[in-house]
Each structure stands twice: as structure tokens, then as C-alpha cells.
Structure 1
Amino acid sequence: MPNIMRNAAGRYATIAAAVVLGAALGGCSAQAGPSPAANGLVSHVAEYRLRLISTSANSSVIAARGAFGFRFEKVCDGWISELRNSLILQGPQGSAINSSYSMTQWEDFAAKHYRFRVRDFQDGYLTDEVNGNAERQDDKVVVHYEKPVDVTEELPVDTLFPTQHSIKLLQHAIDGDVFASDRVFDGGGDTPTYQISAVVSGAMDADNKARDENHIADKPFHRISMAFFPIDSDDDRPAYEMSIDYGKNGVAQGLVQNYGDFKLQGDLIRVRELPAPQCD
């Protein structure tokens, strides 16, 4: 199978982690108290359908389809998010790759502790697994990987975790800010740390056709467009770009992933609210 096809699938796996949908939502900023945006977050399970919306003339991908499921839940000691996706990419020579991916994250409310597990599959076979945790100390963030090798590294103290970053973006939307730029660590993919530049739109009316019995995806959203720059790269171009339509309750109503030579759109097809935790 051509390497370019494998690289495209790998880039997809990385972006899935960063989405939040790695996209998880919640937490607070590293140096401040809880964000008001966190109070309105809704625990939920959502399903999305992925479809190819454009390709360039020399694209390595001529067809693509897939789906992913996302679970975001407030528990007694923090936020848990789970992402599971599958994607089939087809090249111009008729070759295809079936890539699936899962990521589980837990982050405490103070954004001081973060745990992650990433599993990557190709054609049904486990090809990569990364487990680890990170702790925010007074002057640095210490990351300890347990798999695939036992290793520890240090990051600048202003590095954000995915949940923390997402809630910060929602707070920018609430405050009317237009631009943001942050260093974010999620632990997944070949490049676990990115500098993410974001542009935040004004509020727009919901236009998805999701099955939504709890009416949590029919509220206005802000389109947040992000460019992902690998840390320590000499290339001044982003590795990829993404836009996410975020409601203020943390529900992603849709998204577009731009890989340069092709684009995917994620349509929300079903969403359901989860009950609040029963904590002492």
C-alpha cells in the first residue's frame, strides 16, 4: 500500500485525538479559577458520519467514508471523554486502507492531572498503543508514558490539556474574542504536542439534522477554525486545519477536517444527554 495512503490515515488518527472531540470539554485554565463556560457543559453521547467533500487534482485520496462516536461525561473527580472512529480511504490506484482509532481521556477539574490511552488499528489489527499520564507542577508539565516504552518528558508549564483547551476556546466564544493561540498536549499520534491557532466566529443558528430528543444540539453555535502547527517544526505551514461548530453547552454540531489535498466533513447524526453524576 502506498506510504502516502498510510500517512493520510495516520494524520487522521492524530486529528481525531486533538478534536476533542479530543475533543473533550471542561476544566479551567492553568493559572486561573474555574471558567464560567464549564458550568453550562452537558454530558452527552454523539455519533457523526464522515464524508469526503473535496479533493485536489493530485490528491492521494479519491474516496473516503467513515464514522465516529464521542462520549463526554462529567464524573465526580473530573471529565472523561471517549472517542472511537473508523475511516476507509481509497487511493487513485484503487488501493484502500481501513483505519480505526480509539482514545480515552480523563482530566481533573483543576487541569493538573491528565490520563490518556490511544489505540490505533489498520485493517482490524492493532498497530499502535500509547498509555500515559501527565501532571502539571509549579514550573512544568511532566509526562510519563507507560506504553509503548517507559519514558518521561517535560513540557512548558503553560501547555494545555485537551479538555482545558476546549473550554478555553468556548470561553473565548462567550467573551467575544476572535483569536487564540495555545500549546496543547493530548498524548496521541506521532506529534502529541501542537501550537494551535484558532479563529472564533460569532454565534450562528443551528442547522444540523441530528436525532436529538433532549434538544441539546439545536442551540446557536460558534464556528472555531483551528490550524495545528507541530512543535519544533521548521515548516511554517500547519500540519492540518479543522473547524468545529461548538454550542456553548460543549456539543459539537459538525466539523470539517482539511488535510490539504482533501477535506472531510463530519455530520452530527445522533446525540443524547447523559445524567449528572451522583457524588457525595
Structure 2
Amino acid sequence: MRAAILTMTLACVAPTDANAASIAAHAIDYDLALAQLEHGDTVDATGHMSFRIDDQCDSWTTQQRLQMQTVRRGGDVQNTVTDYATLETKDGRHMAFETVQKLDDQVQSRVEGEADRRADGRVAVRYKLPAARTILLPAGTLFPLAHTMAIVDAARLHKESIAPRLFDGTSPDDAFDTYVTLEGWSSRNADAPARSLQAMGAAQTHVAFFATGPAVMTPDFEMAARYFENGVSDRLWMNFGDFAMRGTVAKFILLPVPRCSSRKHL
């Protein structure tokens, strides 16, 4: 089961500081409930997801935990926990990542490493786990928060779709091709989960994640969300293959902005 990673102007160069600075440091929790069943082994599912993003002046750090309990045909219950953490510089040049997935308290997989954008725009990824190796990704590959802001920027421009390549550190061997559909930009949202978000623009989005390669037609994972202009998201929907989950906001807080010497207003 692929971890649901929230952190998502398609460009062939690194994202700008202006894009990164528009993200709000915040912490948000979602309650997850079963939304849909396909013809598979899962008959029920519940869960919880927490996400936190902190502003470190020249970079962002994120922490996410996805907890899922699924009931299989025959009555077997499985508990899956995925912990995901990143550091992503605001100039789009560096990222550190770690993903740990557990099934019934036993570690099933661990992915850890760092990625750096070269002068020609290509991204060199140095894995530490599950095995030490280096891969080179094409220019235009976006890190997670740059991917999120690419979605927001495209929605602001009333684009119907974009297709950026994403490296998020959850795969042990490659990036993902993503196809993002956008359902229009709303300048005010009275039903936002917090008063601070009601006057912000937002767009409903759908993101399909594909393994890279020729003629890959079926996505590995799909998610939908309403993204606000500051990178906060609600109205989650996540498709894990034989079942889908819907996420509603249980708690949301904006986090303090640090005192950074480079900020002009300080």
C-alpha cells in the first residue's frame, strides 16, 4: 500500500522562493472513513492521518503519519502505520527523506536518502535505505512541496490539468509521473474547516500517480483534495486499489512563523 502523501506553473527549472514562501506552516489531523469498496479482499477500513509542516527559514520540514486498520475477508484485521518525514529547501535544490511502513508493529519497508538538483536541472538521488545506490532523474522533476504549489499555481491560472513528475521519497527506485486535473478556482470558501481559510482561494483537485515507463495506463495510487492557496488541504479522498477512504478535518492550527534574518519585514 503506497503512503498517501499530501505534499504535492509546471516548470523545467527549480521552483522559486516566491512559490515556496506562500505555503503556510500548519498542523492538521484527518479522520479517515471507508468511502468505497472494489472487488478485493478488504471489507472494512478506518484510519487517521496527521500532517505537520514547519518553516525553517530556508527550508520546510514535514512530518506525516498515516494509520490504517483494515478488515479482510475471513475476519483478519491488519494495522498499517506509515511515517513519512522530509526536509525540502525553498530554492528547490535539496531534499532529505525517510519513509517507514509497519504492518502489525513489524517494519515492512524503510526508504531513506537525499536528493540534490544539479546545475542542468536533473536530480541526483542518493539512497541510504533499503540499499545504497544513486539514480538520476530528469530535469523538471519536482519535490513534494514544489509539486503542491505547482498545483495551486495552475489552479489560479484556471488550467484544467498539469502533468509534473514528482519525487517524494516514498519509492525505493524512482519518481512518479502525476496527472493532475483541476476543477476550477473559488476565491472564497465559506465551508472551509477554519475561519482563517474562508477568504482564501482554493480548487478541488484529483491527482493520479503513475510508475514511470512507457505505456503505463493504470495509476499506482489516486487522491483528491481541495487545496487552498496556502497549501492547506481538506476534502480528502484516497484510492488504495480495492478500497477508497474519505478524510475529514478533525483538527487544524496555523504554526508560528520563525524570525528569519532574510525576511525583509524583520
Q: Report the TM-score when normalising by structure 1.
A: 0.84
Going from structure 1 to structure 2, the CA distance change for 1:84 and 1:192 (only over 3 Å counts) comes to farther
The separation in 2 between residues aligned to 1:228 and 1:177, in whole angstroms, is 19
Query: Match for residue 207 of structure 1?
Result: 191
Report whether the alignment pairs 1:164 with 2:146. yes
- 1:51-90 map, 5 Å: 51-56=33-38, 58-90=39-71
Matched-pair identity in %: 27
Query: Could you tell me which of 138, 142, 155 is aligned with 1:173?
Result: 155
Deviations 1:100-157 (Å, cap 9, x if unpaired)?
A: 0111111111101111011111111222222100011023211001122211111112
Stretches of structure 1 that go unaligned for 5 or more consecutive residues are 1-9
Query: Match for residue 22 of structure 2?
Result: 40
Report whether the alignment pairs 1:221 with 2:202. yes
Whether the aligned pair in 1 keeps the contact of 2:15 and 2:146 (CA below 8 Å) is no
| Letter of the structure 2 residue corresponding to residue 229 of structure 1 | F
Whether the aligned pair in 2 keeps the contact of 1:191 and 1:230 (CA below 8 Å) is no
Going from structure 1 to structure 2, the CA distance change for 1:121 and 1:39 (only over 3 Å counts) comes to same
Whether the aligned pair in 1 keeps the contact of 2:84 and 2:100 (CA below 8 Å) is yes
Query: Could you tell me which of 18, 22, 31 is aligned with 2:7?
Result: 22
Whether the aligned pair in 1 keeps the contact of 2:14 and 2:140 (CA below 8 Å) is no
The separation in 1 between residues aligned to 2:104 and 2:22, in whole angstroms, is 39
The CA deviation at 1:22 is 2.8
Going from structure 1 to structure 2, the CA distance change for 1:217 and 1:60 (only over 3 Å counts) comes to farther
Query: Could you tell me which of 240, 244, 247 is aligned with 2:225?
Result: 244
Coordinate RMSD, CA, aligned: 2.3
Deviations 1:200-254 (Å, cap 9, x if unpaired)?
A: 111343535x4x4x62367452111111111126541222221111111111122
Query: Could you tell me which of 138, 145, 158 is aligned with 2:119?
Result: 138
Whether the aligned pair in 2 keeps the contact of 1:30 and 1:111 (CA below 8 Å) is no
- 1:116-131 map, 5 Å: 116-131=97-112
Going from structure 1 to structure 2, the CA distance change for 1:73 and 1:133 (only over 3 Å counts) comes to same
Going from structure 1 to structure 2, the CA distance change for 1:174 and 1:220 (only over 3 Å counts) comes to closer
Whether the aligned pair in 1 keeps the contact of 2:25 and 2:55 (CA below 8 Å) is yes
Report whether the alignment pairs 1:272 with 2:257. no
The separation in 2 between residues aligned to 1:33 and 1:111, in whole angstroms, is 6
Stretches of structure 2 that go unaligned for 5 or more consecutive residues are 262-266
**Bigger helix fraction:** 1
Whether the aligned pair in 2 keeps the contact of 1:217 and 1:253 (CA below 8 Å) is no
The separation in 1 between residues aligned to 2:199 and 2:83, in whole angstroms, is 27
Going from structure 1 to structure 2, the CA distance change for 1:121 and 1:55 (only over 3 Å counts) comes to same
Number of residue pairs aligned between Structure 1 and Structure 2: 258
The separation in 1 between residues aligned to 2:40 and 2:83, in whole angstroms, is 26
Query: Match for residue 256 of structure 1?
Result: 237
